[in-house]
């Protein structure tokens, strides 16, 4: 899957205190790839307290892209271990309306860790993102809340646009299979997506799988017909254990898209 990263371009509305003090909030959180721990950051101006920063973004060019999701990503830590709640809510602003992650994310550590929320659908329309609605996002950022005597520090913030570029198709993940996969056995899977059409256009198809543990990998697949494909894993290479979910990745001829519903509506697994 491809993506576009948009960094803060300027301050929109800011309430945090920057470090170094001579810096501007949007500059000190533009540390991608990440700089050493406290090279630069913003933090709550007071603790306990609630503070929110938002930054305008670099322009998203009007390209021939299929947008899979909008993701706000920050790197955050507690400045100390005092007891209390430390939370961060990623946000974006579109049409003057601020949308937060449905639930605040915990800031668990006194060292930096990545926090993110992925907006799969446009919350205003309830529909899939497109270039027009993505371009309505004028700013993004985060709201930090601490009920403790220590602050929350953010040293990195950016907007990630997850896309399928022209010539690439990426389906959504299927639900986890009911079958529990056993290692060291021959295994095959048939992915049936009757809402999708023209799988025969695909070249280099792969079935990408994920375990509940977070382990991810892919299998080479073969097209059966316009709506089905199969992948096999021989015992010698099958080290999986547990339930798995799948999605399809394939390459399409230039200028073509895979039509229909991208969800796997029926996934059949079997031992062979």
Contact present, 87 and 107 (Cβ < 8 Å)? yes
More confident residue, 35 or 95: 95
Residue 111 backbone phi and psi in degrees, to 5:
-125, 160
Residues 187 and 259 in one domain: yes
pLDDT band (50, 70, 90) for residue 241: low
Contact present, 43 and 148 (Cβ < 8 Å)? no
Residues 18 and 153 in one domain: yes
153 Cβ contact list (under 8 Å, min separation 6): 38, 41, 42, 43, 76, 77, 78, 79, 112
What span, in angstroms and rounded, lies between the C-alpha atoms of 134 and 193?
28
Exposed, middle or buried: residue 159 (CB in 10 Å: 0-12, 13-18, 19+)? buried
Number of domains present in the structure of the chain: 2
According to the model, what pLDDT value does residue 207 have? 73
According to the model, what pLDDT value does residue 264 have? 47
47 Cβ contact list (under 8 Å, min separation 6): 79, 146, 148, 149, 150, 151
What span, in angstroms and rounded, lies between the C-alpha atoms of 204 and 201?
10
Report the CATH number at residue 133.
2.60.120.260
pLDDT digits (tens, 9 = 90+) for 87-126: 999 999 998 899 999 999 999 999 999 999 999 888 778 8
Show which of 130, 165, 200 is a domain's final residue.
165
16: three-class secondary structure by DSSP: coil
Q: What percent of the chain has pLDDT over 90?
A: 39
- Kindly give the residue spans of alpha helices, DSSP state H, lying in the chain: 25-28, 131-134
Within 10 Å of residue 231's Cβ, how many Cβ atoms? Answer: 21
Residues 92 and 222 in one domain: no
Please give the full DSSP string across 197-252, using - where no structure is assigned. Answer: --GGG-EEEEEEEE-TTS-EEEEEEEE-SSSEEEEEE-GGG----B--EEEEEEE-
Show which of 114, 141, 165 is a domain's final residue.
165
Q: What is the length of the chain?
A: 272
Residues 200 and 244 in one domain: yes
Report the CATH number at residue 215.
2.60.40
Show which of 139, 165, 191 is a domain's final residue.
165
Contact present, 146 and 48 (Cβ < 8 Å)? yes
Residues 47 and 110 in one domain: yes
According to the model, what pLDDT value does residue 235 have? 62
Q: Is the pLDDT of residue 266 over 50?
A: no
Residues 155 and 203 in one domain: no
Residue 123: name the closest of 193, 69, 82 by CA: 69
Residues 156 and 176 in one domain: no
Residues 33 and 139 in one domain: yes
Residues 137 and 183 in one domain: no
Residues 123 and 249 in one domain: no
Q: Structural domain of residue 189, as residue ranges?
A: 168-271
Q: Is the pLDDT of residue 245 over 70?
A: no
Q: What percent of the chain has pLDDT over 70?
A: 63
Residues 121 and 186 in one domain: no
pLDDT digits (tens, 9 = 90+) for 12-24: 999 999 999 988 9
According to the model, what pLDDT value does residue 271 have? 42
Q: Is the pLDDT of residue 216 over 80?
A: no
Exposed, middle or buried: residue 214 (CB in 10 Å: 0-12, 13-18, 19+)? exposed
More confident residue, 202 or 195: 202
Query: Using CA atoms in the order 231, 237, 241, 242, what is the torsion angle rounded to 10 degrees?
Result: -10
Residues 68 and 114 in one domain: yes
pLDDT digits (tens, 9 = 90+) for 44-83: 999 999 999 999 997 776 555 678 899 999 999 999 999 9
pTM for the full predicted model: 0.63
């Amino acid at each position: 899957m491809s993506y576009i990263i948009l960094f803060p371009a300027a301050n929109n509305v800011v309430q945090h205190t920057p470090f170094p003090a001579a810096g501007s909030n949007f500059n000190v959180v533009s540390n991608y790839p990440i700089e050493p721990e406290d090279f630069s950051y913003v933090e709550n101006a007071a603790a306990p307290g609630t503070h929110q920063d938002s930054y305008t973004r670099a322009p998203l060019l009007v390209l021939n892209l299929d947008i899979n999701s909008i993701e706000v990503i920050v790197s955050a830590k507690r400045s100390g271990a005092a007891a209390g709640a430390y939370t961060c809510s990623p946000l974006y602003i579109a049409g003057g309306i601020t949308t937060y992650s449905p639930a605040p994310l915990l800031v668990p550590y006194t060292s930096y860790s990545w926090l993110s929320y992925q907006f799969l659908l446009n919350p205003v329309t309830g529909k899939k993102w497109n270039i027009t609605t993505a371009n309505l996002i004028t700013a993004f950022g985060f709201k930090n809340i601490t009920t403790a005597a220590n602050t929350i520090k953010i040293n990195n913030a950016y907007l990630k646009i997850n896309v399928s570029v022209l010539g690439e198709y990426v389906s959504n993940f299927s639900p986890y299979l009911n079958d529990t996969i056993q290692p060291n056995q021959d295994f095959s899977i048939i992915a049936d997506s009757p809402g999708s059409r023209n799988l025969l256009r695909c070249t280099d198809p792969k079935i990408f799988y994920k375990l509940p543990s977070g382990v991810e990998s892919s299998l080479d697949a073969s097209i059966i017909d316009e709506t089905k494909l199969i992948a096999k894993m021989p015992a010698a290479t099958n080290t999986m254990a547990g339930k798995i979910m799948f999605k399809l990745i394939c390459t399409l001829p230039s200028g073509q898209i895979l039509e229909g519903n991208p969800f796997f509506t029926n996934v059949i697994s079997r031992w062979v």
